[in-house]
Amino acid sequence: MQSSPNGLPQPPSALVVAHPGHEVRLHGWLERARPTVFILTDGSGLAGEPRIGATARYLSSLGLRPGPVFGRFTDTEVYSALLGHDFRFFIELSEKLAGEFARAGVASIVADAAEGYNTTHDVCRLVADAAASMAGADAGRRLDNYDFPVVGRPDRCPEHLRGQAVWMELDDETFGRKLSAAREFYPGLFADVKDAVHGRGESPMREFIERGGEGGGGIEAFRVECLRPAGRGGAVGADGGARPFYETLGERQLAAGHVERVIRYREHIAPLASALGEHAERRA
């Protein structure tokens, strides 16, 4: 992977995230790299309360441009497509992103990591990988592809990738702006994250963090921003290890009557990963 003179991924760059609010984790990078920002869903989740308006205001405050894919779907639509094995839904989305990357001459993308916490996060990673592959094939060059932790500690990076990752430690002024933006534009989300990283409350986020042994650091951990080289087609569960957290959480939601079916890695995510990978290979 190549970097620009300031050590950041090659411009022009694009950020692709599943939900509004993920982007503030990379506030320092946003200020410096000024990427085009693509957001797949409106952030309404099961509660039906969109956050996309807050993200539009946040990006405007930074003078950043949202991409043509911006709050395009609800989480319910994504879940329905997954449960129904409607892979065309995701293939068309990846094609749309690939076309936008090509038109903008994007050289590097950053997208949500697949952490096994939320199915839409992991789907975003799969879609972004396919889009980057297709855009690179169309342009005759490979796009650099990075991910970042969405729920895990911001400085989490596998040992073998640490030397290739892009690391930023924010100065006091930039870190202050980051925290202020999180409080102003995403007060509920900020409170949930703050409680989780301090080991308070009973949120799924806290449980996920503690399961991974990533407690400690508090909100100060968000001073670090790490962009990690991403491998194509990555999805938690692919290694045959412990099942993803979203299956455990889905079973609780099913028992509580919040959902009618549970999205599972082997039944839904793995076939989607194969479908997107095969489509991208045919296009190449």
Identify the weakest region by mean pLDDT among 6-10, 58-62, 68-72, 242-246.
Answer: 6-10
Q: What is the pLDDT of residue 50?
A: 92
First-to-last C-alpha distance (Å) of the chain: 20
Q: pLDDT class for 148, splitting at 50, 70, 90?
A: very high
Residue whose C-alpha is closest to residue 145's, from 116, 103, 114? 114
Residue 168 domain flag: yes
Q: Give the span between the Cα atoms of 75 and 180, in whole angstroms.
A: 27
Residue 7 domain flag: no
pLDDT digits (tens, 9 = 90+) for 16-27: 999 999 999 999
Residue 8 domain flag: no
CATH code, domain with 214: 3.40.50
Residue whose token pair is 């609800």: 74
Residue 3 domain flag: no
pLDDT digits (tens, 9 = 90+) for 77-117: 999 999 999 999 999 999 999 999 999 999 999 999 999 99
Once rounded to an integer, what is the mean pLDDT over residues 165-175? 97
Q: Quick check: 250 pLDDT over 60? A: yes
pLDDT digits (tens, 9 = 90+) for 174-185: 999 999 999 999
Residue 4 domain flag: no
> Phi and psi of 140, rounded to 5°?
75, 25
Residue 1 domain flag: no
Tell me how crowded residue 20 is: count the other CB atoms within 10 A of its CB: 28
* Token couple for 37: 């920002």
More confident: 249 or 233: 249
Q: Are 36 and 65 contacting, i.e. CB atoms less than 8 angstroms apart?
A: yes
Residue whose C-alpha is closest to residue 166's, from 36, 32, 55? 32
Q: Quick check: 58 pLDDT over 80? A: yes
- In terms of Cβ atoms closer than 10 Å to its own Cβ (0-12, 13-18, 19+), residue 105 is exposed
Q: What is the pLDDT of residue 198?
A: 81
Q: Quick check: 261 pLDDT over 60? A: yes
Identify the weakest region by mean pLDDT among 3-12, 21-30, 80-89, 128-137.
Answer: 3-12
Q: What is the pLDDT of residue 218?
A: 85
Q: Quick check: 284 pLDDT over 90? A: no
Residue 82 domain flag: yes
Q: What is the C-alpha radius of gyration for the chain, rounded to an integer number of angstroms?
A: 18
Neighbour-count burial for 82-97, b at 16+ CB within 10 Å, e otherwise: bbeeebebbbebbbbb
Lateral strand order in the sheet of 224-229: 66-73, 36-41, 13-17, 108-112, 144-148, 224-229, 166-169
Structural domain total, the chain: 1
Percent of the chain whose pLDDT exceeds 90: 77
Once rounded to an integer, what is the mean pLDDT over residues 199-216? 80
Among the residues of 73-118, which ranges form H helices? 75-83, 87-104
Q: What is the pLDDT of residue 283?
A: 81
Q: What is the pLDDT of residue 215?
A: 61
Range of the domain at 240: 13-279
Q: One-letter amino acid identity for 66? A: P
Residue 78 domain flag: yes
Tell me how crowded residue 222 is: count the other CB atoms within 10 A of its CB: 23
pLDDT digits (tens, 9 = 90+) for 210-243: 887 666 578 999 999 999 999 754 555 544 457 8
